[in-house]
Amino acid sequence: MSLRHALLGLLAHGPASGYDLTRAFDGSIGRYAWHAGHSRIYPELAKMTEAGQVVVEETGPRGRKTYALTDDGRLELRRWMLHWPEQTTVRDETVLRMFLVQSLEPEDARRLLEGIAAHCADRIAELRPLMDAEDAEHSPGAQVPFGRLAGEYGLRQYEAVHGWALWSLARLGATVPG
């Protein structure tokens, strides 16, 4: 039931509507961690309200309902963040492809790995300047901007995959020289 915790976590930064939360999932949290569409979010917010973890703090124009965490919600978020189960849910198509690289013919595998390496290099070239710019603005001692840790994680992720793809290419290349 991690959708609930994703919502609690997002609401911990401040009140938001179902619409706001839906847009948040279209960003990096949805691309790297957990995705949800509005058709799941609205019913879940209703259940969370029933469970007393969130409340409708404000009703705006166009029927907008702004949800805020309750103490119970914050408590549940903290419990979940600090208490990791043995086995956590993972479902990642990209990692699955990496696991199955060796099921391809060597030429296909090489082409795939080259594609991965190039893709990672592009994303790194895109992300690194963004992070650096954010850090330049950031005065030491001030609060770390939301998303900065996640952004750094994404960047290091790409760097790791990039390094892995190059390593794998070298490793496979040895089997079919020339």
Partner DNA sequence: CGGCACATGTAAGTAGTTACATGATTGG
Partner DNA sequence: CCAATCATGTAACTACTTACATGTGCCG
Q: Report, in Å, the least distance between residue 151 CB and DNA.
A: 22
Chosen residue from 94, 136, 137, 178 binding its own copies by CB under 8 A: 94
AA letter at 33: A
Whether the Cβ atoms of residue 68 and residue 62 lie closer than 8 Å to each other: no
CA 42 to chain centre: 20
Whether the Cβ atoms of residue 73 and residue 8 lie closer than 8 Å to each other: yes
Whether the Cβ atoms of residue 155 and residue 128 lie closer than 8 Å to each other: yes
The C-alpha atoms of residue 53 and residue 110 are separated, in whole angstroms, by: 50
Build a one-symbol-per-residue string for 65-104: x at contacts with DNA by CB under 7 A, - elsewhere: x-----------------------x-x-------------
36-55: contacts with DNA (CB under 7 A): 36-40, 42-43, 45-46
SS3 58: strand
Whether the Cβ atoms of residue 65 and residue 56 lie closer than 8 Å to each other: yes
- Which of 77, 89, 82 has the alpha carbon at shortest distance from 33? 89
Residue 136 as a binder of its own copies (CB under 8 A): the answer is no
64-83: contacts with its own copies (CB under 8 A): 77-78, 81-82
Which one, 33 or 155, has the nearer CB to DNA?
A: 33
Footprint on this chain of its own copies (rule: CB under 8 A): 2, 5-6, 9-10, 12-13, 28-35, 77-78, 81-82, 84, 87-104, 108, 111-112, 140-144, 146, 148-150, 152-153, 156-157, 159-161, 163-164, 167-168, 171-172, 174-175
The residue ranges that bind DNA (CB under 7 A) are 1-3, 17-20, 22-23, 35-40, 42-43, 45-46, 60-65, 89, 91
